[in-house]
Amino acid sequence: MSIPGYEVHEDNAAAIAASLAALCSQHSVRLAVAESLTGGERWRCC
């Protein structure tokens, strides 16, 4: 059974998931840089 518009939501969900993965990756890099700049002090998110 096909639900009208469902494919669009599926595509959007995939795009959002990919964006979140990229953001997490960038955030991890920023945390690593901050940690190295502060002499190994751990930074916490949220």
The whole-number pLDDT of residue 45 equals 57
The closest of 33, 29, 31 to 45, measured between CA atoms, is 31
As given in the structure block, the two tokens for residue 40 are 């190994």
Per-residue pLDDT, averaged over 19-33, amounts to 82
Q: Are 31 and 40 in contact (CB under 8 A)?
A: no
pLDDT-based confidence at residue 42 (cuts at 50, 70, 90): low
Mean pLDDT across the stretch 12-38? 82
